[in-house]
């Protein structure tokens, strides 16, 4: 026997003489599923996993939101120069610092999550994120400790950015590996529900505090409150995450590799080796991930973080007004996002992602022309056109991205791809758009930038495989009931011949 492919080129006469032997070879190459191979999910455990993962995402965006909305105040407190532009730029530069270290966080936590387990690393990122955010609320002002105030601010922004690098890849992997195959889109959509909830929570809290305290009290001490809220929130998230079991897919992977544990004990696998494996063996999926995430992040940050600045700076619109309209649009998206997840389970990830990308490609210009009109109905309609395109991506992406990679490298590959893309394209979006408007004098530049991103997204979606209702690569099938598992095993049994 020459090898496993021998039966494909075997002499037909030999196959006739030894049918049992060749049947055994075929079965070894394509083993039938046994009932014990199939994961039957526990609805209560899936819901607990979704809650714990989504809360971390909500915290990440809560922190992102409060820093954006308090940028002017933070500039006064930590970078007092007497020049408002310099203060704001210094504040935004400190904001951008967190994005620079995100890929490093992804490269550190991602492979660790593939080796030690999803749960432990997600608990660690939650602790770091909560400490980083809480500590910012405790830093004395520039007036009190001088030069050390901005130094400490930058240090804790780095802690936040580093921990965020392990958050999205882990949280989306966690939900994807817990959810049954046929409902992965629905459960995955709650991760982005957390994104919107965190953003709305931040905007709501900052707006309420500013209205209640006034700008003087906000600058004196009120700005600290939203940062300090992150401490208790982090403890709740940590408690939820530590109560969870490891994902079924990772448990199966551990059980399979345990057989080789004696040999593995003598070989220390390093993060560097894990990373080189990801770049060497999975680069096509990594490029696809970066393309999808880049298109999705540019459109996401343009609408959710840049829009209030655009309305106030470019169109001289009242800041609170713009924010309230955006909050209303986000609240509407929260109401429909899980339905979008359900649609992606039913029709597939590709049709939904393609609808969102084409929406940005063809509707961005009309939407910004409407927003430029300046009347409230025109702005609402324009932002809804962009919001409905975005929700097609938001509700689908957290189920589509984990399916690009096999279980053994899923957390690491997704963390690396997602954070490289977020760092290059996401965090730079407000800066690039402001620069383009300044350079060209056209306040339609956000529309053109979104269209360029959507074009890349259309190509990426066209290149990806459909993964809805299918097991994750390298993981056993995952179903909701024992009956469904029995049907799956039964479907492989050939019809009896009489």
> Residue 30: what pLDDT?
52
With CA atoms as reference, report the closest residue to 129 among 114, 109, 145: 109
Residue 206: how many CB atoms within 10 A of its CB?
23
pTM greater than the 0.85 cutoff: no
> Residue 385: what pLDDT?
93
Residue 266 confidence (pLDDT) above 80: no
On the 0-12 / 13-18 / 19+ scale of CB atoms within 10 A, 380 is middle
- What band does 491 get if pLDDT is binned at 50, 70 and 90? low
Residue 37: how many CB atoms within 10 A of its CB?
14
Mean pLDDT confidence for 353-379: 92
H helix intervals, 348-428: 349-373, 376-400, 410-421
> Residue 458: what pLDDT?
96
Measure the N-to-C terminal CA separation of the chain; round to a whole number of Å. Answer: 34
**Quick check: helix, strand or coil at residue 238?**
helix
Among the listed ranges 292-306, 313-327, 428-442, which one has the minimum average pLDDT value?
A: 313-327
CA distance 247 to 119: 8
Mean pLDDT confidence for 251-265: 55
Mean pLDDT confidence for 343-367: 94
* 137 and 433 Cβ atoms separated by less than 8 Å: no
With CA atoms as reference, report the closest residue to 101 among 418, 409, 420, 431: 420
Residue 459 confidence (pLDDT) above 70: yes
Mean pLDDT confidence for 50-68: 81
Average pLDDT of the chain is: 80
- The three-point CA angle 309-310-313 to 5° equals 75
CA 493 to chain CA centroid, Å, is 39
CA distance 296 to 172: 15
Q: Which two tokens stand for residue 264?
A: 């593995």
Q: What percent of the chain shows pLDDT beyond 70?
A: 83
CA distance 461 to 455: 10
On the 0-12 / 13-18 / 19+ scale of CB atoms within 10 A, 16 is exposed
């Amino acid at each position: 026997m020459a090898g496993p492919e021998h039966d494909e080129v075997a002499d037909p006469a030999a196959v006739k003489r030894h049918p049992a032997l060749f049947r055994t070879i075929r079965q070894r190459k394509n083993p039938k599923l046994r009932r014990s191979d199939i994961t039957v999910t526990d609805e209560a455990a899936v819901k607990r996993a979704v809650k714990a993962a989504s809360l971390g995402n909500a915290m990440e965006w809560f922190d992102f939101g409060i820093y954006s909305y308090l940028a002017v105040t933070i500039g006064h407190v930590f970078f007092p120069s007497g020049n408002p532009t310099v203060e704001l730029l210094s504040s935004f530069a400190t904001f951008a610092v967190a994005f620079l270290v995100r890929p490093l966080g992804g490269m550190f936590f991602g492979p660790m999550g593939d080796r030690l387990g999803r749960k432990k690393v997600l608990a660690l990122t939650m602790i770091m994120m909560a400490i980083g955010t809480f500590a910012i609320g405790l830093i004395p002002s520039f007036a009190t400790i001088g030069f050390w105030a901005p130094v400490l601010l930058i240090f804790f922004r780095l802690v936040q950015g580093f921990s965020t690098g392990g958050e999205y890849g882990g949280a989306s992997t966690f939900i994807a590996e817990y959810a049954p195959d046929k409902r992965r889109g629905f459960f995955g959509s709650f991760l982005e529900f957390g994104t919107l909830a965190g953003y709305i929570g931040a905007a709501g809290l900052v707006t309420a505090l500013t209205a209640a305290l006034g700008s003087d009290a906000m600058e004196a001490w009120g700005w600290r409150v939203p940062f300090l809220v992150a401490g208790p929130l982090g403890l709740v998230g940590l408690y939820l995450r530590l109560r969870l079991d490891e994902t079924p897919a990772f448990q199966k992977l551990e059980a399979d590799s345990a057989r080789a544990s004696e040999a593995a004990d003598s070989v220390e696998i390093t993060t560097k080796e894990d990373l080189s494996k990801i770049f060497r063996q999975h680069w096509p999926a990594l490029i696809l991930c970066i393309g999808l995430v880049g298109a999705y992040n540019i459109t996401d940050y343009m609408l959710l973080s840049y829009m209030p600045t655009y309305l106030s700076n470019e169109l001289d619109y009242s800041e609170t007004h713009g924010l309230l309209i955006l909050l209303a649009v986000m609240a509407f998206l929260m109401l429909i996002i899980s339905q979008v997840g359900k649609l992606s389970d039913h029709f597939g990830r590709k049709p939904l992602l393609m609808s969102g990308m084409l929406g940005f490609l063809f509707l961005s210009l009309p939407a910004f022309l409407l927003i430029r009109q300046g009347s409230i109905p025109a702005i609402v309609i324009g932002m809804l056109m962009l919001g409905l395109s975005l929700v097609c991506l938001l509700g689908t992406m957290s189920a589509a991205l984990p399916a690009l990679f096999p279980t053994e490298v899923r957390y690491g590959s997704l963390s690396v791809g997602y954070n490289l893309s977020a760092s290059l394209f996401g965090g730079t979006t407000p800066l690039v758009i402001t620069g383009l408007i300044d350079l060209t004098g056209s306040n339609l530049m956000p529309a053109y930038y979104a269209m360029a991103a959507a074009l890349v997204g259309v190509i990426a979606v066209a290149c990806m495989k459909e993964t809805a209702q299918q097991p994750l690569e390298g993981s056993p099938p995952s179903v909701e009931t024992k009956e469904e598992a029995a049907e799956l095993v039964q479907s492989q049994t050939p019809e009896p011949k009489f």
